[in-house]
Structure formats: C-alpha cells, structure tokens
Structure 1
Amino acid sequence: MSRFEEGASALVTGAAGGIGRAIARRLAAENVAMTLTDVDPAGLAAVATEVAELGGKVVTEPGDVTDAGFRKQIVARAVGEFGRLDTLINNAGIMVGGTPESITEDSWDHIYGINARAPFFLVQEALPHLIETKGSIVNQSSVLGLLGMPSGASYVSSKAAVVGLTWALAADLAPHGVRVNVVCPGTIDTSMPWTYVNAALGSGREEEAEALLVARQLIKRLGTPDEVAAVVVFLASSDASFMTGAAVPVDGGWSAS
C-alpha cells in the first residue's frame, strides 16, 4: 500500500546522482509519478530507464535549477504531464571546499546559487500547486549544515541556510497545509565526499580519508544513498503527516558524537 495519494506526482532535482537515483527508485516503489531533473543528461536518462523498468511513470528535463526560466519550465512540465504536484524534493547540490583565504566571490555565489538560492525559488514556483494538493517539500542539507568543518565556509554556510530556509518555510506554509522538512546526510558513499577529499588531500589517499571519515561516526561505516532516500521519501509521505520544520540527521551518529 502506497503512503501517497493515488495519482500523486513528485518533482526531484539532482536526480542523476547517487541519492537522487535512490529517491527515484523509492518513489517508483510507492507508485508516485515523477519529473526528474539534473544537469547530467546521460545520468538522468539512465535513472529514467531504471524507474521505467520498475513500472514507474517518469519524465525527465535536463537543465540547471539556478536558471529562473528552467525552474518555471520544469514545474509546468510536472503539472502538465501528471495534472498535479504533491511533492518537491530539492536534492540538487554541490560540495566545494576552500580555506577562508582562497574562497572567491564567484565560487561563493556559485555554491549558494545551487545549494540555497535555487531551492527557495523553486519552492516559490511550485507553491500554488503544492498548496492545492496540501503537499510536502523535502530539502536536502547536510550534517555540515548543523556542524562546522575546516575549509568549508561556503559549503557549511550554504547548507545551514537550507536548514534555516526549511524552518522559515515550515512556519509560512503550515497554514496552507504544506509540510516542509530537511534531511541532513552525513558521509554517504557517493562521489561528493571524494570530490572534497581529493581537493583537500590530493588523489590517491582515499583509504586514509575513508578511515578519518568513518572514525567520526558512531556507526563505523559510510552511509548508503538508499538509507538517505528512505528518510527523504518517509518525510514526503503521509507517514510523516505530523512532521514539519524538522531537520533530520542521517549521519551514522556523527552529530551526536
């Protein structure tokens, strides 16, 4: 039995990555139709094929969520294809490190544009449809939106902004019946942490880096994309009907250690 209304549809950004792909697979298992977007057309097509093989209804729109015209386009496509929009999952994000001395204004604006600015304005675009369905929004932050990290001023602050945005939107949208929550993953076995590791330590030091990453967690392993996706889809579903404004760590106990 699905935890979503019959005919429900979701819009998922960053759908070609590891967590986005896992979210799409879990939504397919719930019989949720979905509109998927990402800047990676080939990866997006591969995810769509997986979803279709699982029997899911899916359309894809490759593009950049920092572009206002594209945000309007993907919301219109979602509603046009499926007649409604029940869930917005702001999953797209990037991780870029840099010391306080090395971060440039352009790099700061770039990471904020993707991680914090685009989610808000996509909510704004989708809001009339989400109010109509009394839907849900799930934002993707990071445990580093709750904690600090060396060489992470731009990333950490952008992800903290997503947490604050979630709290503010939850307060604004509760009277309309729209729930807003945020997931804060820890170190998940996707390409993202290794991009940061290679930039900070240099290539060829993956084993050393993994040991350091695992050591800071109570559960002594990396998380999987599916473990994050399970929480995202739970928050989007009717099982979380009494949850809004929640920032949920999925971090192996990192934030508790």
Structure 2
Amino acid sequence: MNQASDMSGKAALVTGAAGGLGRATAVALAKVGADVCVVDINPAGLEETAELVRAEQVRCLPCSVDLSTKSACMAVVAETIETFGRLDALCNVAGVIFFNHSEAMSEEQWQKTLAVNLSAPFFLSQAAIPHLLEQAGAIVNVSSSAAFIGEAYAAGYCATKAGLVNLTKAMAMEYMHKPLRINTVAPGGMMTNIVSSFASMPKDLDPGLMARFKPLRGMVEVDDVANLIAFLASDAASGYHGACVTIDKGITAG
C-alpha cells in the first residue's frame, strides 16, 4: 500500500475517533508525525485514543462533541486551530447506521443518519476549508461500499454514503484551481463498533437479503483502511483529487 509522507509539524482532525476506524486513523496519522484532534461523543473511548496518539510523541486534543449540529462542527474546528495553530487534514470518519424496514424507520433515526453521515462532513469542511487552503491541505471523507450497492434495510445509510461520494466530487470540482485536495474512501465491511448495530436489528429481517452484501473474501482490515486515509491526507497523495478509492475486497465488483 502507498505510505503517508512525513506529517511532522502538521495537524489533523479525525472524527469518530473513540474506536474502530477513527481510532486507527488517528494513530496512523500520529505515526507519521501529525498532531491530532480526535472527536467523538464517547469521552472514555476518546481518552483511550488520545493515549495511543500521545504514545507516538505528538500532541493530541480530545474533543467530546456531538457533531449533529453546524455549531458543534464549527466549534471543534476553531478549537483545533486555537490549540495547534493550523489544520492540514480533515478526516471525516464518523458514521452511524440503523437497520430497519424503510417504512418503520423513525424520523429521529433518519435525521441522525443524515446529520452524522452527510451534514457533519459538510459543515466541518465549511469550517476547515479556509485553514486547509492556507496549508495546501486535504479533506478525506469516509463513504462505504454501500454507496454503490443497494443494501436491504439500510436505506438511510446507503443514501447518505452515496451522497458523500458525490459531495466529494462536487467540492473537488469547486476547488479544482485551489490548493486543496478532496477525496473519499469507500471501505467494505470492517470489524468496528458500527457492527454492533447488527445486534439491535429487528428480528423479522430477511436473512437471505442480508446475505447479499456479505463479503465473499471476508472483512476488510481496519488498519488497511486507516493507512489509506492517512496516505490521502498527506502530501504523498498529491495526484489524488475528487477520487473515490474503494477498499472492499471486491464486494462492489459485480
């Protein structure tokens, strides 16, 4: 896999960092020298991540924030700038999924999915772009293989992840002539805390339909995806702009 370039003296912001892919991404960035602001609604998990980041001899700013509102997104970027004095990479990793029959999905679940998976990456980008332009930085969004294949009982998740891919492309075109790179990563299934959502699924879902998006080659390694995100966040990925890089062990191949 391509390796991230040295990010010593640079700063990154990673959402969903209390565990899973967000934590692995924060550590991957720390390993190449970046100071990292780690964001999540889980303060205990966030502190564990902060310890791992600081073990790489870089600074870490843990922010326990619910990113469901624009004001929260703006505030966490402002705190990052106040602490580190700069921002070189925004990694929008946080995501939620609710498995349910479409007709039974509550308005609260729908709005939460939109807020975390799509609105938060946009509002964080709004706040971060002026600072990223100063540093010729990067935005890396995390979509999903669900952006490209229909997954039964996950309409909200699929819709928001597909939206995130095209949001990435639209913003990449807008900033085509500016010193900012905007890309997205689309992983297949991983063993992360988002898998715990399976435990709360209604019992009457059709297992045959669920099996259609089961990876034939197994789950994707979290660290592989984290390293890809760190690479795209670094100057080593200078040729990537407006790209959606799939890392799904072939689940979207056919």
Match of 1:251 in 2: 248
Give the deviation of 1:196 after TM superposition: 2.7
Question: Are 1:34 and 2:36 counterparts?
Answer: yes
Partners of 1:71 and 1:88 in 2: CA distance: 12
Partners of 2:76 and 2:20 in 1: CA distance: 21
Instruction: Give the gaps of 5 or more residues in structure 2.
Output: none
Partners of 1:73 and 1:186 in 2: CA distance: 31
Partners of 2:7 and 2:158 in 1: CA distance: 36
Q: 1:194-250, CA deviations, whole angstroms, 9 ceiling, x for partnerless residues?
A: 413651558xxxxx99x9589533xx2212211110111111111210111111111
- Structure with greater proportional helix content: 1
Partners of 2:5 and 2:230 in 1: CA distance: 9
Q: 1:68 to 1:198 in 2, by over 3 A?
A: closer
Match of 2:227 in 1: 230
Q: 1:59-96, CA deviations, whole angstroms, 9 ceiling, x for partnerless residues?
A: 11111112233222211111111111000001111011
Instruction: Give the gaps of 5 or more residues in structure 1.
Output: 203-207
CA RMSD of superposed structures (Å): 2.1
* Aligned mate of 2:100, from 95, 98, 101: 98
| TM-score for the superposition, normalised by structure 2 | 0.91
What's the secondary structure of 1:149's corresponding residue? coil
* Aligned mate of 1:72, from 71, 74, 82: 74
Q: 1:161 to 1:175 in 2, by over 3 A?
A: same
Aligned-pair identity (%): 35
Which range is displaced more, 79-88 or 40-49? 79-88
Match of 2:180 in 1: 178
What's the secondary structure of 1:182's corresponding residue? strand
Contact 1:97–1:200 (CA<8 Å) still a contact in 2? yes
Contact 1:95–1:196 (CA<8 Å) still a contact in 2? no
Match of 1:111 in 2: 113
What's the secondary structure of 1:11's corresponding residue? strand
Partners of 2:132 and 2:172 in 1: CA distance: 13
Give the deviation of 1:191 after TM superposition: 2.3
Match of 1:205 in 2: none
| TM-score for the superposition, normalised by structure 1 | 0.90
Which range is displaced more, 239-248 or 99-108? 99-108
Match of 1:21 in 2: 23
Contact 1:32–1:56 (CA<8 Å) still a contact in 2? yes
What's the secondary structure of 1:54's corresponding residue? coil
What code does the residue aligned with 2:17 have?
A: A
Match of 1:60 in 2: 62
Contact 1:214–1:221 (CA<8 Å) still a contact in 2? no
Q: 1:5 to 1:188 in 2, by over 3 A?
A: closer
Partners of 1:213 and 1:65 in 2: CA distance: 32
Q: 1:49 to 1:5 in 2, by over 3 A?
A: closer
What code does the residue aligned with 2:23 have?
A: R
Partners of 2:176 and 2:60 in 1: CA distance: 29
Give the deviation of 1:100 after TM superposition: 2.2
